[in-house]
Amino acid sequence: MSVRFRSLTKWFVPISGTLVAIFAINGQLNTINENLANATTAFFGRWDVLVVCLLAAAPLAMLLTARTGPPANKHSNDAAPRSATRAPDSRPTRNGASEIVSYPESTERLRWVWLLAAIVFAGLAAFGCRIVVSSAAPHFTLVTATLARTLIATSAMLAVMSLSQALTAAPPLPTYARQSWTAKLTLVAMTIMIPAAYVDSVSEGIRIDLDKALQARRFGLASQHAQRLTQLHPEAVIQDQPIQSIHADITGQVQRLDATLRRPLSPRATSSERGRRVTVLMQLDRNEEAIRLLIPLTHGPRFQPISLDYLGLCYQRLERYQESLNAYQAAVAHWTSQPEDDRQKSSLASAWKGVGFAARRLNQRSLEEHAYRQLVETSTTAANHMLLAQCYREHQKTELAAQHTTIAAELDPELKTKSESMLSSISTDHFGCWLVPRS
């Protein structure tokens, strides 16, 4: 067996063991939602947070198992099998002759010790998982939650490295990491601080997503974000309220909406009743069900113009952008043919906005620009000018982007800061500094 192959086998157990630990802890913490990308893992919030915690704890676990492991053979570059006995040594006697001395190794005993250690550490990790999902979990502070995640991850990785010692030999750390106290303290700090920094970054993103979901009245999505944020950052504040309070309010709203849906919809339900059911479904992000109710309202005797806009939005949330574009273009065609009034203008503006968003996702640049230009002509608001400016900026048309950014700031002084930030960015993008108008 080559040295290279043995080196690879030493890494196989830690890597495969880490993967097993990820799935095992996810199972212990009752991962919610079948889609792994959108899953909510109790206490760790998301599966990627769990992965970061385990990887950050791996070097420390390697150090601890290396420090307590059996001494390496200094006379060979390739470690002997763990089941072998130590080769006999020779030592000189008083008369100058050499005497063969045998030092029996209790490697089998050590192997069982490592297996026992792996079981103990795995049990500690499982016990920690059970503790954090108990009734005491909601009372964690940010500091105690960080330390608890670190302890669970470290216990799991100690189990993995102990198993690796029992089966092969754990991958070695650099010599300085085993001898330098600075290196040891650095590994301890990494185990705590890397996951803490990652959790802080993830929490900020979830906080922004939660605000957006609440503004859009997407209570089903908001409930998922609030649940994750409660697990990751128990002391977070949203809209001047603690996250636990926000989560309880959203949960109550979701339960009331679910109760509404449990009442069956009559086959003879009116269009307004169907519309209310669609609204509830969309608030709960049950867009597939909403689409099934919307399609009969997009044509025929039950035709409701607003259904085209809602259908486009449902497809947009499902990331089915071509179908979303088709629905919004049908809405544009309908409202363009209608007499001009306030309802016609607002509906046409909404349809053009949907066309622009779908075209952007489909990388249809000409259609995107046309849609946002029509949006500005239909509804000349600061927000719509900012959308057109963003479109032109992404298409590297800096002069047009700067013009519409300036108009947006003039229409709405509250957008002045955002406008100045975009102008500053435009001035350094694609040599746009020669094109930006200055007051």
Place of tokens 């990388």: 363
Q: In this model, does residue 101 exceed pLDDT 50?
A: no
* C-beta separation of 288 from 318 below 8 A: yes
Amino acid of residue 308 = L
- Supply the pLDDT for residue 329: 96
Q: How many CB atoms lie within 10 A of CB 349?
A: 20
Label residue 438 left, alpha or beta by phi (over 0 means left) and psi (-120 to 50 means alpha): beta
Mean pLDDT computed over 302-324: 94
- Supply the pLDDT for residue 63: 83
Rounded Cα gap, residues 195 and 200, in angstroms:
8
pLDDT band for position 20 (cuts 50, 70, 90): confident
Centroid of chain to Cα 259: 30
**Percent of the chain surpassing pLDDT 70:** 74
Find all residues with CB under 8 Å of 430, minimum gap 6, and list them. Answer: 396, 398
pLDDT higher for 33 or 17? Answer: 17
Alpha helices in 319-378 (DSSP H): 321-336, 342-361, 365-378
Rounded Cα gap, residues 109 and 97, in angstroms:
34
Instruction: Write down the number of H helices and E strands in the chain.
Output: 17, 4
- Supply the pLDDT for residue 8: 59
Rounded Cα gap, residues 19 and 171, in angstroms:
17
- Whether 402 is covered by a domain: the verdict is no
Rounded Cα gap, residues 12 and 22, in angstroms:
16
Rounded Cα gap, residues 322 and 327, in angstroms:
9
pLDDT higher for 369 or 421? Answer: 369
- Supply the pLDDT for residue 35: 45
- Whether 52 is covered by a domain: the verdict is yes
pLDDT band for position 426 (cuts 50, 70, 90): low
Most confident among 93-97, 130-134, 168-172, 333-337 (mean pLDDT): 333-337
* C-beta separation of 355 from 385 below 8 A: no
Q: Which of 164, 141, 146, 166 is nearest to 61 (CA)?
A: 164
Mean pLDDT computed over 148-154: 88
Most confident among 68-77, 375-384, 392-401, 410-419 (mean pLDDT): 375-384
First CA to last CA distance, the chain: 75
Q: In this model, does residue 175 exceed pLDDT 80?
A: no
Q: In this model, does residue 254 exceed pLDDT 90?
A: yes
The SS3 of residue 40 is strand
The SS3 of residue 102 is coil
The SS3 of residue 89 is strand
- Whether 301 is covered by a domain: the verdict is no
Q: What is the mean pLDDT of the chain?
A: 79
What predicted TM-score, i.e. pTM, was given to this entire model? 0.72
Q: In this model, does residue 1 exceed pLDDT 70?
A: no
Q: In this model, does residue 40 exceed pLDDT 60?
A: no
pLDDT band for position 172 (cuts 50, 70, 90): low
Count CA atoms within 13 Å of residue 89 on its CB side.
9
pLDDT higher for 136 or 119? Answer: 119
Q: In this model, does residue 68 exceed pLDDT 60?
A: no
- Whether 210 is covered by a domain: the verdict is yes
pLDDT tens, 202-246?
999 999 999 999 999 999 999 999 988 988 888 888 888 899 899
- Whether 93 is covered by a domain: the verdict is no
- Would you report the helix, strand and coil content of the chain in percent, each value rounded to 5? 70, 5, 25
Question: Measured at the alpha carbon of residue 118, what is the angle toward residues 141 and 161, in degrees to the nearest 5?
Answer: 85
The SS3 of residue 269 is coil
What is the dihedral angle through the alpha carbons of 315, 319, 322, 328, rounded to the nearest 10 degrees? 40
Number of domains in the chain: 1
Q: Which two tokens stand for residue 430?
A: 């694609």
pLDDT higher for 20 or 48? Answer: 48
- Whether 76 is covered by a domain: the verdict is no
- Supply the pLDDT for residue 10: 67
Q: In this model, does residue 137 exceed pLDDT 60?
A: no
pLDDT band for position 166 (cuts 50, 70, 90): confident
- Supply the pLDDT for residue 69: 45
- Whether 395 is covered by a domain: the verdict is no
Domain that holds residue 182: 1-69+107-263
* C-beta separation of 149 from 202 below 8 A: no
- Whether 341 is covered by a domain: the verdict is no
- Supply the pLDDT for residue 84: 41
pLDDT tens, 402-419?
888 888 888 888 776 776
Most confident among 65-79, 118-132, 205-219 (mean pLDDT): 205-219
> SS3 sequence, 133-149?
CCCCHHHCCHHHHHHHH
pLDDT band for position 77 (cuts 50, 70, 90): very low
